[in-house]
Structure 1
């Protein structure tokens, strides 16, 4: 009688009974295809949430990436050019580098 329950943990049938997809319902477990669908929807929602959060973060920081804001760097460059600290050629080279 004990051998009947050796691979049947908690009475949930099929296989060794340890995995989610090994219970009632054959190969797909107790929830069947519905369980797979629920998992797929869950992970799609998690990925969408992450994408929305990243989009809002980038929009809020308006072009900054890892603490470097291109607009701020361009403003500093323009100020140096306006004060005469750099010539036109150097200004254009640095501006082109920042805008790449």
Structure 2
């Protein structure tokens, strides 16, 4: 992983964490526990913002975040689609030049194969 790709991936992760923190900070103030209208946590199927769906959507959301981070790291790390095609092209061109230098192929075949590699 190059330094530029690492910086992009870590910047994306930090930005996502900052946005998530800001979104959670806007939920509202914590109710006064001494007030007569406070009845507890409503953790399961209460009348909270998400109710019981938070137990289902929460883990799914976290799994999606982890999968997205892994995908971005693989994409920026060069393991994604086309990550090694440049190195393979350089190796094929070097072998072609070596065969031409040894006299195994003539100049016409060398030019034709080089054109095919360029495409």
Coarse TM-score class (shorter-chain normalised): 0.3 to 0.5
Q: Which has the larger radius of gyration?
A: 1
Identify which of structures 1 and 2 has the higher relative contact order when contacts are C-alpha pairs closer than 8 Å and 6+ apart.
2
TM-score, reference length from structure 2? 0.41
